[in-house]
Amino acid sequence: MIALVDCNNFYASCERVFQPKLENKPIVVLSNNDGCVIARSNEAKALGIKMGAPAFKMQSIFDRYAVHVFSSNFALYGDLSNRVMNILTESVPAIEIYSIDEAFLDLEGVMKPRQFSIDLRAKVKQWTGIPVSVGIAPTKTLAKVANHVAKKYKKEGVFVMKSSKTINEVLKYIPVDELWGVGRQYAKFLMERGFHTAHDLAHGSESWIKRNMTVNGLRMVKELKGISCYTIECETARKKNICTSRSFGIEAKELHELKEAIATYANTCAIKLRKEKSLAHSICVFVRTNPFKESAKQYNASQKAMLAVPTNDGMEITKQALAVLERLYKKGFNYKKAGVIVGDIVPDYSRQLSFFYQQDILRRQRVMNSLDYINTTMGRDKVRLAIQGFDRKWRLKQEKLSPCYTTRFTDMLQVNLDQ
């Protein structure tokens, strides 16, 4: 049996962990620059607030119903996600971390999967404060369906789909557009041909499914029938590229502003490479104006460059990124977004040390390790490259950012034991 553990309204739940007064209150979390709604509590959903809705259009609802609005705090969300995943990893023989708030668990050998999941759910809640739902079934696709049902059982939060009878009954109430792997276009295509529910699809012609939905569609249908086609993938595939990009809170006009941003993004890419024990052999920089300002002059450009040797050295990657930016920059434009992509990624053990540069590479590697240690223990960006700047006006607008309770010493909650 396979279990899918899904954190309930994850971003909103993270905001509640350290602010219990928000329990049962409507919460929304906004995207970069506080632009759109990217997460909602159940109470906010009940008010009709839609995913992706522009924040300024929702302001009247926010005010009328006292909705608690937060800027996205990815440092907090990422740390709490790691804590949840660590608990899950210690509890089962195999786990596939599917996203920041979802994981598939291998329940092979678990004698009582339902009770095990109830206990695991309680443990995650007690240790992290994050509520989760657990769906259990013979296949990944059915586990997704079971999790969908589990969310409706709020008290227990666990649902098991094991017998053919239970599976068939549940599939009758699952619309095809809610199935894992069925996008908007496929859903429309299927409904036009009489497939309205997962049950309809599970009992359709396999040859027709394969012909019209490729082998992936056929695998999905087999999984709906209880035939496992997707195993638990314990090892995370190495990323082909890593991108760091942001929209600016205030449009950047001058080259020095873009340099600060690109240097910051390049260094972030390097940090991610080192965390994954990887090296990059290429770098791409892009800049663009605001496409939604039709009255403004538009400019959108990108350029790729190869690095002399694969590296995760933040100083070297930043140097090359700035050289590319110099070639891209054109004066007279208001830049809204920029980014850095490092690609052609290889594992760091494949590094080939040049006879001429071996000592320099090893020395710089020690410098990077020292920077990582300082910034991990003392706080993010405590030590950074001077080119990253200090008065970074272009930075994200995050006017409603909650404290980084678990990743920044100055934001830790204080408990007064004298009262």
What is the reported pTM?
A: 0.74
Residues of the chain with pLDDT > 90: what percent? 48
Residue 352 pLDDT class (50, 70, 90 cuts): low
Where helices occur in 225-254 by DSSP H, the ranges are none
User: Which pLDDT band, with edges at 50, 70 and 90, does 405 fall under?
Assistant: confident
Least confident of 38-47, 74-83, 151-160, 235-244: 235-244
CA distance 362 to 357: 9
User: So what's the pLDDT on residue 237?
Assistant: 63
Residues 253 and 365 occupy one common structural domain: yes
Residue 232 lies in a domain: no
CB environment 160-176: b (16+ within 10 A), e (fewer): bbbeeeebbebbeebeb
The answer to whether residue 229 is domain-embedded is no
What is the pLDDT averaged over residues 109-125?
93
Q: How many CB atoms lie within 10 A of CB 218?
A: 18
Q: Is pLDDT at 344 greater than 80 in this prediction?
A: yes
Residues recorded for the chain = 419
Which residues contact residue 360 at a Cβ distance below 8 angstroms, ignoring those fewer than 6 apart?
Answer: none
Contact between residue 80 and residue 72 where contact means Cβ atoms under 8 Å apart: no
Only one residue has tokens 């240690």, namely 373
| Alpha carbon distance 80, 87 (integer Å) | 11
Integer Cα distance of 167 and 223 in angstroms = 11
Handedness of CA 32, 21, 19, 127 (dihedral sign): negative
The answer to whether residue 97 sits within a structural domain is yes
Same domain for 182 and 266?
A: no
Question: Based on the domain organization, do 95 and 174 belong to the same domain?
Answer: yes
pLDDT tens, 1-36?
A: 999 999 999 999 999 999 999 999 999 999 877 888
Supply the mean pLDDT for the chain.
88
Query: Which residue in the block uniquely carries the two structure tokens 């206990």?
Result: 119
Q: 86 and 207: one domain? A: yes
Confidence band of 394 (pLDDT split at 50, 70, 90)? low
- Lowest average pLDDT, out of 187-191, 252-256, 369-373, goes to 369-373
- CA–CA gap between residue 73 and residue 33 (Å, rounded): 12
Instruction: Out of 129-133, 224-228, 280-284, 415-419, pick the least confident.
Output: 415-419
- The Cα–Cα gap between 283 and 281 comes to 7
Residue 343 in domain: yes
Specify if 231 maps to a domain: no
Q: What is the mean pLDDT of residues 396-414?
A: 80
Q: Assess if residue 418 is contained within a domain.
A: no
Instruction: Let me know if residue 217 belongs to a domain.
Output: yes
Instruction: Report the run of H or E that residue 283 belongs to, with start and end.
Output: strand 278-289
203 and 106: one domain?
Answer: yes
Question: For position 402, what pLDDT does the model report?
Answer: 87
Give the chain's domain count. 3
For residue 111, being part of any structural domain is answered with yes
Amino acid identity, residue 134? V
| Distance from C-alpha of 171 to C-alpha of 211, rounded to nearest angstrom | 23
pLDDT confidence tier of residue 351, bands split at 50, 70 and 90: low
Q: Indicate the residue among 23, 53, 76 that finishes a domain.
A: 76
- How would you label 373-403 residue by residue, b for 16+ Cβ within 10 Å and e otherwise? eeeeeeeeeeebbebbbeebebbbbbebbbb
Q: Is the same domain home to 70 and 81?
A: no
In contact, 314 and 368? CB cutoff 8 Å: yes
Same domain, 45 and 81: no
Please check whether residues 205 and 293 belong to one and the same domain. Answer: no
Q: The domain containing residue 301 runs over which residues?
A: 241-388
What is the average per-residue pLDDT within 131-136?
Answer: 96
* Domain containing residue 37: CATH number: 3.40.1170.60
DSSP 8-class letter at 108: T
Write down which residue in 167, 196, 224 finishes a domain: 224
Q: Identify whether residues 145 and 251 lie together within a single domain.
A: no
Residue closest to 36 by CA, chosen among 48, 51, 15, 14: 51
Say whether both 215 and 108 belong to one domain: yes
Where residue 284 sits, what CATH number does that domain have?
Answer: 3.30.1490.100
Domain termination site, one of 76, 102, 129: 76
**Same-domain status, 193 and 272:** no
To the nearest whole percent, how much of the chain has pLDDT over 70? 94
pLDDT of residue 135: 95
Residues 201 and 248 in one domain: no
Domain CATH number, residue 157: 3.30.70.270
Tell me which of 138 and 231 has the higher pLDDT. 138
